[in-house]
Amino acid sequence: MSLLRPFSACDQFAFNAINLDLWTETYGVGYYGHYLSTWPDLFTVVESAGGKGRRDASRGIGGEGGGLMGYVMGKTEGRGEEWHGHVSAITVSPAHRRLGLASMMMELLERVSDQQHAFLYGHYTALQRGLVEDVDLFVRVSNNLAIGLYETLGYIVYRRVKEYYGGGPGQADEDGFDMRKPMSRDRQHKSIKIPNGILDGRDYEVRPEDVYW
């Protein structure tokens, strides 16, 4: 049994085993702290029901007595009709995969982006930025398992970002897919309409500088 709860600063001492995953992008302490202070309602962990991952980091990941099983980190960004939710990172520890945890965390982030942020920005900010139109994320083109998961959750490949992921010393850079899912405000699905008459987002190529806010 598992439960979702808000990310705590102490969780940074307990999720190293999750971040060892090959596909997980890792960041510095300040980066996680920025998300925690700016978008706390979009930063969530999943832990076993008897988990003490937040209170006793030395227990590790999902060991005896429970612990962290995964986390999702998101934000809102953009301008006007391009105001959207963004999944910055999501991962599940190897020992707890194929349990539906990633889907559960994604659905929560989407719901908060769609409903709570629409309420929070419903008066002042919405007049300038508009409500959340969609949720998007980036994924390596070689990560077929994750791409398949996102597609089952309703995401489509909107475009291919050339050399989005740095390859590191001696390795080539890798392209990334920008995947999107329209939220309730985007009733006409404008956020996922690929420009220039292109039918498949895999054929719509852009550079990294074209996707940064």
- Radius of gyration for the chain, computed over Cα atoms and rounded to the nearest angstrom: 18
205-206 and 134-140: which strand pairing? unpaired
**Which pLDDT tens digit goes with each residue over 153-173?**
999 999 999 999 998 888 999
CA dist., res. 35 & res. 8, Å (int) = 11
Average pLDDT over residues 132-156: 97
Q: What is the mean pLDDT of residues 94-107?
A: 94
Is the pLDDT at 127 greater than 70, yes or no? Answer: no
Domain ranges of the chain: 1-132, 137-213
Residue 129 has pLDDT above 60, yes or no: no
Cα 199 to Cα 36, 150, 173, 196, 212: the distances in Å are 38, 19, 26, 9, 23
Q: What is the pLDDT of residue 21?
A: 63
- Is the model's pLDDT at 130 over the cut of 70? no
CB-neighbour burial class of residue 168 (10 A; exposed 0-12, middle 13-18, buried 19+): exposed
State the average pLDDT over residues 189-207. 95
CATH architecture for segment(s) 1-132: 3-Layer(aba) Sandwich (3.40)
Between 57 and 156, the more confident residue is 156
The pLDDT mean for the chain works out to 85
For 194-211, what is the mean pLDDT? 95
Sheet with 43-48: strands ordered across? 2-6, 43-48, 68-77, 84-92, 134-140, 174-182, 156-165, 205-206
pTM: 0.84
Query: What pLDDT shows up at residue 51?
Result: 54
Number of neighbours of residue 25 by Cβ within 10 angstroms: 12
